Amino acid sequence: MLILQHLLRMQLLLDNILTPVVLCFLLGMVAKWIKSDLALPEPIYQGLSIYLLLAIGLKGGSALSATPAMVFMKPAIATLVIGLVSPVIAYYFLRWIGKRSQIDAAAVAAHYGSVSVVTYLAAVEAVKRSGLASEEYLPALVALLEVPGIIVALLFVRTDGANSWSKALHEVITGKSIVLLLGGLFIGALCGSDKLVDVQPFFGAAFKGALCIFLLELGLVAGKRLKDAGKAGMRLLMCGILLPPLLGTLGVIAGLLSGMSPGGSAILGAMAGSASYIAAPAAVRIALPQANPAYYLTLALGITFPFNLALGIPLYLKTSQLFSLWLTKSA
């Protein structure tokens, strides 16, 4: 009986890994490992990221226009709280367990405070496969979680002038991920689902295929980072593996307490437990040039992203289901 349960659990884990999106990521990593000449041309990567971000924004925007403000308010506040709290936790984690300098800890904290859009997408897929429902307005929460964490983390370090601060702020707020996400949300909300039907064949039907190619590139970059992960040492490795479940569980709880569904809370957990690698690296590089990029890029892309893809997301899903059961029982 126990063995059967164990096998079932393995099945759940395999179900999460054996999807085209995750396997494309693995293919990228393998390609890097065997030193294949496979490389995604940069303009294609840039084009795909624009496509994905805009598509997410449009979808969320049209859902938002159909959501009453009162329903959206509490999850939005929960998301902002996550954005304020998670970089603080990540900072002290990196200081005490990672034994990093103030500057390096703040740089890493900015990445964990922000959100990885691809992890979010993978979580949405996993929740859909598990048969649970999730809120359609979640892309709006992604946009909300993107910026505050980076700003909070940068507050830990006194930079030598207002100049680099304002530049970094400008980079985060006007960076392409925020412009496209927020822009997409506005367009989606203004047009509503009726008018979006026209662009649906492009933004909807092709979405997952485009995501596969994007993940292929992420796999290539992560494969490169993974080689550095060995050099990073045990302490950093531990941070990259322990921070996601810690922050992810907080995200799940915040989601459930704000009245979101178990599926939506699991996704919010994945968002909270993820580390940004589009908005944060550029902003951190500008604000904290002294910080070692090898730490934050290796943690965010080489360790935490693959961890969430394979183990984190099923974990948040399970945690969310258990907590929501417990909450309904105790209520």
Footprint of another protein (CB under 8 A): 42, 45-46, 171, 221, 224, 228, 277, 281-282, 284-286, 289-290, 293-294, 297-298, 301
Q: Can you give the chain as a three-state secondary structure string?
A: CHHHHHHHHHHHHHHHHCCHHHHHHHHHHHHHHCCCCCCCCHHHHHHHHHHHHHHHHHHHHHHHHCCCHHHHHHHHHHHHHHHHHHHHHHHHHHHHCCCCCHHHHHHHHHHHHCCCHHHHHHHHHHHHHCCCCCCCCHHHHHHHHHCHHHHHHHCCCCCCCHHHHHHHHHHHHHCHHHHHHHHHHHHHHHHHHHHHHHHHHHHHHCHHHHHHHHHHHHHHHHHHHHHHHHHHCHHHHHHHHHHHHHHHHHHHHHHHHCCCCHHHHHHHHHHHCCCCCCHHHHHHHHHCCCCCHHHHHHHHHHHHHHHHHHHHHHHHHHHHHHHHHHHHHHC
d(CA 34, CA 269) in angstroms, rounded, equals 34
Q: Which two tokens stand for residue 98?
A: 């990672």
Identity of the residue, 11 or 290, whose beta carbon is nearer to another protein in the bound complex:
290
Instruction: Work out how close the CB of 232 gets to another protein at its nearest, in angstroms, rounded to a whole number.
Output: 11
CB closer to another protein out of 19 and 164: 164
Min dist CB 294 to another protein, Å, is 5
**Joined tokens for residue 107:** 């740089």
Residue whose structure tokens are 């999730």: 134
Q: How far is the CB of 150 from another protein (least distance, A)?
A: 13
**Shortest CB 293 distance to another protein, Å:** 5
Nearest to another protein of 122, 278 (CB atom): 278
Judged by beta carbon, residue 9 or residue 167, the one nearer another protein is 167
Minimum CB distance to another protein, residue 296 (Å): 8
Beta carbon of residue 282, minimum distance to another protein (angstroms, whole number): 5
Q: For another protein, which is the closer residue by CB, 60 or 219?
A: 219
**Would you say 273 or 281 has its CB closer to another protein?**
281
**Cβ 52 to another protein, closest distance in Å?**
16
CA-based nearest residue to 168, from 149, 157, 182, 154:
154
Q: How far apart are CA 265 and CA 269, in angstroms?
A: 6
274 vs 298, beta carbon nearer another protein: 298
Rounded to a whole number of angstroms, the minimum distance from the CB of residue 242 to another protein is: 23
Q: Which is nearer to another protein, 44 or 322 (CB)?
A: 44
